[in-house]
Structure 1
């Protein structure tokens, strides 16, 4: 049956670019003009809201690209180069997280609502630098990131580099479905004007001097991998700024400084700042080198994976509905096992966002400062801890999903879906907020227990799921108490040796430490006191009586050190002073054990079972390319129908395709085909090989 379309071309994801768009490769500026005139505070609130969405979207897309980097190289030198790609992408995502938190603090500063929303579809917002797309690392995706973050003007960039950037902009346009990339810096330029100009921008009364206790700090969320004071890596810092002061003039200056730092960290060039633009440009070069060496280092993950079933189109419908349905079908995780992991990922993502929002909506200390519970976490401190727990869980689930098939019949693997929940709003009452977390933890626990109880399932004995189950059961008792308006239960707290071990594990946020491993985990008190670091005892003993003493102990000196090379934890904020004091007191009390003695101090969370993929040879195409064997399968029924209807090309007629081969090549290269998403470099290369080799049947 032939479908009848109503064709509003403006809704197409991929359209041929206009002549005006073809005429220039310069960056477009985000459309920051508004239909109605807004007062400066309202405009600032709107732009900060947009900035928050942009930072959130960039963070998620960079993370997805990082997770797509394959981690099973056999050659040591190659493995190091590939791992460097992952590490740099992950650090860029961390920095976007820092930008996101700073923007939330700025929203607090002017009394505007927080915003952790973002678009999750390429069909929507015009205020994004490029269309939102979860996609594997490629020259195309890197081209978009470079172009969005690069300086708008050539400035100090040499002519040869600038010309290469203009060439990369062509690739970026194609990767953005034929549309120019919009400059992300435009938002911050306008915000700097609004915050910096007291006459035409924000007024003194727009700044709130009593919001510091609601803000997130670097001590909460920071990360700094810089190693040398004169090294550009100094700027590879998760920048989280807070705004404290009793005078609007001070707050105004601090806000402008923060906005300038975010802008410079994004697009700086040739300065002491190792900008996102420069790092993406280097990633692009390193990516090309590995590709030229024919190294396979990217998982064949889906673009825009989703657990949501695609819509069913019946009867006469608009083309827009068919495009959206095709888009959804392409990323739908049809493999039930992978889809269950996707549901788990989405629940943990929802928890992460809810913990972040809740943390920024309440005040109070993060740790108990004195008494028998000194160093224990308060409810706000638990939100901070649990947020990092979920970041770690998302990483582990993602690394599982990139190896699981998307469908049951093709070579594409699933990826983490990053689907937003039906709402990010939290209730007004504190007890009701904890109830939201309780409900989501219960849903996740049910999913995990079902997988662990499924006889014959490969996930039945998964160590990560077992640890997640244990962790969630512990959370339930805490959440149930907080929902009831009670304090954190006594049984949920630790003491003595187990408390010290937990302090160390939480200091690194539960992540695995590659350099020396989490050496404090999985051991008992007797093993702990025998530890050495660089041939020095971890806990010092007095020479006269052999008693343990905190003064001079390697553990204490490293926990209290501000040196980047000598402190624990490395890269992360110092352990809170209340916890430092507890460790000192524990050592001076001769490091008492728990009852009964000999228990493990803390268990380090295990990794999920990772099943291997078939050899890459299975996915490689032969040198000989045929239309029926290699090219026609690349096109879906949706492509067949839309090309026939809109372009008059019959994909089932190889002669008709040959006659339109150059037209198809041009459209694929400019990003205007297929209509719901552009092809990857590899697919376009395969199509061009077919044309250049004589267009065989």
Structure 2
């Protein structure tokens, strides 16, 4: 939606035929918030898809001579997923500047975006990633080939394709228009509530570079080795329209920007994916797969929504681990959402409540990685659990990444901490079910360690709840 464009809507329904155009009952502020929620949804969906695809890579079926190549693909896709987390956080910061709420959704789109299936790495899914991340006007030799492969992979003659770059262009055009989004719509006082690079980016080198007057990153001095495998996490706090536009520009360029020959140490998501595509195309074979034979959209819920293909994890032992994965996934994003209600106090390394929540977030990231690795080695069905079955017929389970039915966190601080404590109860119950299913010694050791860590976290939460006065339940 360009700032120069007058939207045309169907007045009989109030719904625009173009999913990007503003509905009649919405203000321009509503429209911008909706577009940003859409951007957050896409970043979250892409991050989860990339994590699943990356974790599916590797295994005994990969020939020895390709182990290093497949590991490089995995490292590169994981780097992209970490950068998507930075994009998600920056979009949340812009939403916070606009006085809007944190968005956890992953599937509320104005059209069907089929490439957001959670599926293992393959040539078809890889083509979808290239398609999603490619610049709007990019020309490259494989473009037509990839578009056709996407159609074939999705089973659609003409899939609705809206690259991520298009979403960000719509957002920036509207945000730049001060006649539609006045200064009064911006809330710079929310700056201390926003995610910052000091909390999220440290450890993902290089250090952040400042933006110049045009909103471009200043040139980097020197190059990194194996730059295509490194994460360059961008998390921008914003207090002004100019800062918000510059931040969104950098997020968009990191994902879908063209290669910057002046800064070869930076690898866009498009550039990474097209490199993997070309390498995989060169060596792909019908005799082996770089990824586990894992399901599409695995689910621990037998009655998952019929609007999308789901694969039920019917093996009870595997399903118990999948339930635990979902619980920890929910815990991570509930902790994350809570940080946007707690102002930063001092340096991130100093002991404070927000820093402690950040510590828990990174802990949950580790748990999701560990649980994903286990699930990709577990059987999908009871039949697959038969050790005498033919290896080619065995399907593994996989991390379901299923969202909770309630996507909102409470307004009151006390209620947020009670929610976190309830999550620990849910995890304890999931662990109990795993221990009932005759786990291996290694699995039991993992569960015992996890329960010990949760016990420490529960003591910490109880201490916080004890110190909170119920009269501050709904204070700002």
TM-score class, shorter: 0.7 to 0.9
* RMSD, matched Cα: 2.7
Q: 1:666-685 counterparts in 2 under 5 A?
A: none
Which runs of structure 2 are paired with 1:478-497 in the superposition (5 Å)? 478-485=460-467
Q: Is the CA contact 1:30–1:128 (under 8 Å) kept in the aligned structure 2?
A: no
Unaligned runs of 5+ in 2: 1-16, 208-219, 385-393, 470-476
In structure 2, the residue matched to 1:334 is: 314
Contact 1:431-1:484 at 8 Å conserved across structures: no
| Residue 243 of structure 1: aligned partner | 238
TM-score, normalising length: structure 2: 0.82
Contact 1:54/1:128 (<8 A) preserved? no
Matching residue within 374, 379, 401 for 2:353: 379
Question: Does 2:381 correspond to 1:407?
Answer: yes
Q: Is the 8 A contact 1:66 1:90 kept in 2?
A: yes
**Corresponding residue for residue 457 of structure 1:** 439
Q: Displacement of 1:255 after TM fit?
A: 0.9
Deviations 1:332-360 (A, max 9, x none): 00000000000000000010010000011
The answer to whether 1:176 aligns with 2:154 is: yes
1:165 — aligned with what?
143
For residues 367-390 of structure 1, the C-alpha deviation after alignment (integer angstroms, 9 at most, x for no partner) is 69xxxxxx6522211110101111
Correspondent of 1:362 among 317, 342, 355: 342
Question: For residue 101 of structure 2, what is the aligned residue in structure 1?
Answer: 113
Structure with the greater alpha carbon radius of gyration: 1
CA contact (8 A) 1:30 1:127 kept: no
Match of 1:496 in 2: none
SS in 1 for 2:298: coil
Matches within 5 A, 1:55-204: 55-72=43-60, 78-119=66-107, 125-127=109-111, 129-154=113-138, 157=139, 161-162=140-141, 164-178=142-156, 179-199=159-179, 201-204=180-183
CA distance in 1, matches of 2:455, 2:461: 10
Match of 2:35 in 1: 47
CA 1:457/1:130 → structure 2, altered by over 3 Å: closer, same or farther? closer
Structure 2 equivalent of residue 216 of structure 1 = 195
- 1:229 equivalent in structure 2: 221
Q: Tell me how far apart the structure 1 counterparts of residues 309 and 414 of structure 2 sit (CA, whole Å).
A: 40
Partner of 1:473: 455
Shift of the 445–194 alpha-carbon distance from structure 1 to 2, 3 Å rule, reads same
CA distance in 1, matches of 2:38, 2:423: 27
Summarize the Cα distance change of 1:383–1:127 in structure 2 as closer, same or farther, 3 Å threshold: farther
TM-score (normalizing by structure 1): 0.57
1:269 is the counterpart of 2:258: yes
Unaligned runs of 5+ in 1: 1-28, 245-250, 312-320, 369-374, 488-697
**Alpha-carbon distance, 1:456 to partner:** 4.0
For residues 467 and 30 of structure 1, the distance between their equivalents in structure 2, rounded to whole angstroms, comes to: 52
What is the CA deviation profile of residues 486-515 of structure 1, one whole-angstrom value per residue up to 9, with x for unaligned ones?
Answer: 69xxxxxxxxxxxxxxxxxxxxxxxxxxxx
Residue number among 433, 439, 443 corresponding to 2:426 in the alignment: 443
Q: Is the partner of 2:188 in helix, strand or coil?
A: coil
Question: Is the 1:366–1:380 Cα contact (8 Å) retained in structure 2?
Answer: no
CA contact (8 A) 2:22 2:28 kept: no
- Counterpart of 1:462 in 2: which secondary structure? helix
> How far apart in 1 are the matches of 2:441 and 2:147?
44
Give me the whole-angstrom Cα distance separating, in 1, the residues matched to 2:307 and 2:443. 37
| SS of 1:182 mapped into structure 2 | coil
Give aligned pairs, total.
422
